[in-house]
């Protein structure tokens, strides 16, 4: 069973469209994250939720809106897609506590054309 699963894995869409990426974890973790990996492989946190509450929101354009309907799900909605949004988006989850491992999903490859 996949611990952190995200869909879709690949997404090609036109500029200006709105799209969503869904994420679910079955590990019982309290904290979930969205990370963005750019074309140079650099990874940067976008958002973090703890028990459905937003706790980290890193200077991300407000076209990006996360939603956590329950602690096992964290979805990412992107409005008015731009070319620069092309990247790999990783969902992740972990228990609370700095010593705990953060587990990542397989990534969603978004290409905006």
Partner 1 sequence: GDSVTQMEGPVTLSEEAFLTINCTYTATGYPSLFWYVQYPGEGLQLLLKATKADDKGSNKGFEATYRKETTSFHLEKGSVQVSDSAVYFCALRGRRIGNEKLTFGTGTRLTIIP
Residue 39 makes contact with partner 1 by CB under 8 A? no
One of 56, 63, 79, 111 touching partner 1 (CB under 8 A): 56
DSSP string, the chain: --SEEEE-SEEEE-TT--EEEEEEE-S--SEEEEEEE-TT--EEEEEEEETTEEEEE-S--TTEEEEEEETTEEEEEE-S--GGG-EEEEEEEE-SSTTSPPEE---EEEEE-
- State the Cα–Cα distance between residues 41 and 70, nearest whole angstrom: 30
Residue 60 makes contact with partner 1 by CB under 8 A? no
One of 74, 105, 110, 112 touching partner 1 (CB under 8 A): 105
Residue 69 makes contact with partner 1 by CB under 8 A? no
Determine the interface stretch with partner 1 among 18-26, 28-36, 59-67, 69-77 (rule: CB under 8 A): 28-36
One of 31, 68, 75, 93 touching partner 1 (CB under 8 A): 31
Q: How far is the CB of 106 from partner 1 (least distance, A)?
A: 4
One of 40, 59, 70, 83 touching partner 1 (CB under 8 A): 40
Pairing, β 108-112 against β 10-13: parallel
* Cβ-based nearer residue to partner 1, 18 or 58: 58
Q: How far is the CB of 68 from partner 1 (least distance, A)?
A: 16
- The gap from C-alpha 14 to its chain's centroid, in whole angstroms, comes to 20
């Amino acid at each position: 069973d996949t611990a952190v699963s995200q869909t879709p894995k690949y997404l090609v869409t036109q500029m200006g469209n709105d799209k969503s990426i869904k994420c679910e974890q079955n590990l019982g973790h309290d904290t979930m994250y969205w990370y963005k990996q750019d074309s140079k492989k650099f990874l940067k946190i976008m958002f973090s939720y703890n028990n459905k509450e937003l706790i980290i929101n890193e200077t991300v354009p407000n076209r990006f809106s996360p939603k956590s309907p329950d602690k096992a799900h964290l979805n990412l909605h992107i409005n008015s897609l731009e070319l620069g949004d092309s990247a790999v988006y990783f969902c992740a989850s972990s228990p609370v506590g700095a010593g705990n491992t953060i587990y990542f999903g397989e990534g969603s490859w978004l290409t905006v054309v």
